[in-house]
Amino acid sequence: DVIDVSGLTKKGFFTYDPGFMSTAPCESKITFIDGAKGVLLHRGYPIDQLAEHSDYLETCYLLLNGELPSKEQKATFADEVKKHSKVDDSVAQIIKGFSRNAHPMAIMGSAVNALAAVYHEETDITSEESRRVTAYRLIGQMPTLAAMAHKHRQGEEFIAPDADLAYAENYLNMTFGTAGQSPKVNQVLAKAMDRIFLLHADHEQNASTSTVRLSGSSGTNPFAAIAAGIATLWGPAHGGANEAVLNMLEEIGSVDNIDTYVAKAKDKNDPFRLMGFGHRVYKNFDPRAKVMKQAADEVLSELGLENDPLLAIAKRLEKIALEDEYFIQKKLYPNVDFYSGIIMKAIGIPTEAFTVIFATGRAVGWYAHWQEMVSAPYKIGRPRQLYTGYSKRDYPA
Ligand code: ACO
């Protein structure tokens, strides 16, 4: 809508667009989405091709630099990320200060903000080299922090990153390994974790990425801007959806109760929805869900969990959604959160830590957008408002 605001603010016109549904605050060359056609491209490359032929770190390089790396560039990038993956002791102390039952997203947000304190003096957002090193630190330390939050909540000793392990292997070892013992990492699980990170790497101007851009537009420290993104991702309407999937499976409790819940989901007078089905942007299919489904099947078979009661409910729901007329007609396919929730549950990641994994994968997307913004002339973000309060009035004498 075009609103005449004369008399209340500076004379002129502006758009009133709740939720910014039709407003582009920036240009971007990073990610393209066509929800109707189920297309997601990073720098032009389809997500399913990246999931099949690439890996998380190579996709990070692509998002940050615009092109796929050569073999040497890929090796150097992975090496630098590894070199910068150890977390400063001051941040480890902050994590240890949290109560054992603190939410892992609260720990993660605080820890990333604390990285701003560790690196503030040497961070120069106008320097390409400084921005490169900050990317290594962020990508390198996110899985370390995710694992430290887990270990702290378990009351176990932290495990430092291991120079002999690849990115996802290191995450699994730091999370599920035992300090002082040599790492034993299951390759099927490591591949599935790498895919989870990769499939969450970027999704253009969603709420958390827009937050990072808006926050970063003030010229703030990049770790502080990323911490703002983490706060935004935490909400159930954004990164919390895969947690909601598992909570729903637990509420259903048994395959015998599925019909009742499916009937509730179809009932117009019942607010209940099947979590993990449908998507705001993808109306035919979510290209990430296909890849994630394959990874889920591989993980369940590797761990011999095909008959796990909770996962049996998930499998049955998936079948109903693909065959039932209501779900077909409304294009309600299982989404990426449905399958990533199943994989993380099978691997043993606590439900409340699912969003931390999402944040770990998404950190590169947030950073790529921040970097794209600060690498060119930009303005501080300053949305307008449609004022609906009182006109000027006098204080009662
Ligand atoms: N279960 C049952 N019915 C559903 C579901 C569901 N999960 N999702 C949508 N519907 C129905 C609605 O009742 C509506 O029916 P109507 O046309 O008879 O009124 C119709 O499908 C369209 O629903 P909308 O809410 O208009 O679709 P929208 O695109 O706005 O919502 C959303 C998408 C929010 C993802 C929705 O499908 C949902 O709530 N899904 C469950 C939660 C979930 O999994 N969220 C994570 C998705 S991933 C992400 O977006 C980050």
Q: Whole-angstrom Cα distance, residue 223 to residue 228?
A: 9
Q: Longest Cα pair distance anywhere in the chain, in angstroms?
A: 77
Give the Å distance between the CA of 42 and the centre of ligand 1.
26
Query: According to the model, what pLDDT value does residue 111 have?
Result: 98
Nearest Cα residue to atom 19 of ligand 1: 268
Q: Which of 245, 332, 355 to mutate to test the pocket of ligand 1 (most atoms within 8 A of CB)?
A: 332
Instruction: Note if 279 is an active site residue.
Output: yes
Q: What is the pTM assigned to this prediction? A: 0.92
Q: What are residue 42's DSSP bridge partners?
A: 31, 45
How many other C-beta atoms are found inside a 10 Å radius of the C-beta of residue 115? 26
Residues 145-186 have pLDDT tens digits of: 999 999 999 999 999 999 999 999 999 999 999 999 999 999
Dihedral sign, CA of 149, 151, 156, 158?
Answer: negative
Residues 216-248 have pLDDT tens digits of: 999 999 999 999 999 999 998 888 888 888 999
Residues 1-46 have pLDDT tens digits of: 444 444 444 545 678 999 998 999 999 999 999 998 999 999 999 9
Query: According to the model, what pLDDT value does residue 7 have?
Result: 46
Query: According to the model, what pLDDT value does residue 12 have?
Result: 55
How many other C-beta atoms are found inside a 10 Å radius of the C-beta of residue 70? 9
Q: Which of 199, 234, 280, 285 to mutate to test the pocket of ligand 1 (most atoms within 8 A of CB)?
A: 280
- Beta-carbon contacts of residue 246 (< 8 Å; ≥ 6 apart): 310, 341, 345, 351, 354
Which residues approach ligand 1 with their CB closer than 6 A?
241, 265, 273-280, 330, 332, 335, 337
Residues 73-121 have pLDDT tens digits of: 999 999 999 999 999 999 999 999 999 999 999 999 999 999 999 999 9
Q: Residue 363, class by beta-carbon neighbours within 10 Å (0-12 exposed, 13-18 middle, 19+ buried)?
A: buried
Nearest Cα residue to atom 20 of ligand 1: 330
Residue 141 has pLDDT above 90, yes or no: yes
Catalytic residue, chosen from 55, 194, 286, 337, is 337
